[in-house]
C-alpha cells in the first residue's frame, strides 16, 4: 500500500494557512475543521506546517499574546514531505523517527494531499485484515 491509495480512500483535500494568518485564526481553523495541522503556503509553495502541538508550545512560551502573532513565527519551516509512491511502512518510519503526526504529500513539486499517522494506521490495519482473511480462505480451501 502506498500514499496514493491512502489519498484515494480519504481524499486529497488539504487545509492550508498563510504565513500572515494569526495563530488564533489558525487555531480556530483547526478546531472548526477538526484537524490537527495545516500546511502553510505562499502561493503553491510549501513554507511550513503548523500543528496543535506548535500552538500549545507557543502559548506556553509566550502566553495568550502568541495568538495575535503570525503563523510564520511558530510554524515548522523544515517540512518533511512524502510522495505518492511512498509506502505505508516508509511513512510510519518517517513519522516515528521525526516524532510528528502529519506529512504533506508533494508530487512533482505540487502539494497534492496530507496524511496523518491515523490515516496510515487505519490503512495498515485494513491491509492486515485483508491479508489475514486471504490466508484463512487459502487454508480452508487446502
What would the pLDDT profile of 18-44 be if each residue is shown by its tens digit? 999 999 999 999 999 999 999 999 988
Residue 29, phi then psi, degrees to nearest 5? -65, -45
| Long-range Cβ pairs for the range 54-62 (8 Å, 24+) | 55/23, 55/26, 55/27, 55/30, 58/23
Q: Where are the domains of the chain?
A: 3-141
Range 56-60 average pLDDT = 97
End-to-end CA distance of the chain: 27
- 10 Å Cβ neighbour count for 40? 27
Reading the block at residue 90, the C-alpha cell is 516508509
**What is the mean predicted confidence (pLDDT) over 63-84?**
95
Q: Parallel, antiparallel, or unpaired for β 16-17 and 37-42?
A: parallel
3-141 maps to CATH 3.30.420.40 = no
Element (H, E) at 111: strand 110-116
Region for residue 17 given its phi and psi (left: phi exceeds 0; alpha: psi -120 to 50; beta: otherwise) = beta
Residues 100-134 have pLDDT tens digits of 999 999 999 899 999 999 899 888 888 888 888 88
Amino acid at each position: 500500500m502506498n500514499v496514493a491509495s491512502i489519498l484515494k480512500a480519504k481524499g486529497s483535500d488539504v487545509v492550508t494557512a498563510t504565513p500572515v494568518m494569526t495563530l488564533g485564526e489558525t487555531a480556530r481553523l483547526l478546531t472548526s475543521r477538526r484537524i490537527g495541522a495545516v500546511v502553510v503556503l505562499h502561493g503553491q509553495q510549501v513554507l511550513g506546517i503548523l500543528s496543535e502541538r506548535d500552538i500549545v508550545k507557543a502559548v506556553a512560551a509566550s502566553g495568550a499574546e502568541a495568538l495575535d502573532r503570525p503563523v510564520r513565527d511558530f510554524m515548522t519551516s523544515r517540512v518533511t514531505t512524502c510522495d505518492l509512491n511512498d509506502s505505508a511502512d516508509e511513512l510510519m518510519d518517517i513519522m516515528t523517527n521525526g516524532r510528528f503526526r502529519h506529512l504533506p504529500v508533494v508530487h512533482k513539486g505540487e502539494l497534492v494531499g496530507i496524511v496523518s499517522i491515523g490515516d496510515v494506521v487505519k490503512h495498515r490495519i485494513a491491509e492486515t485484515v485483508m491479508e489475514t482473511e486471504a490466508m484463512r480462505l487459502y487454508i480452508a480451501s487446502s
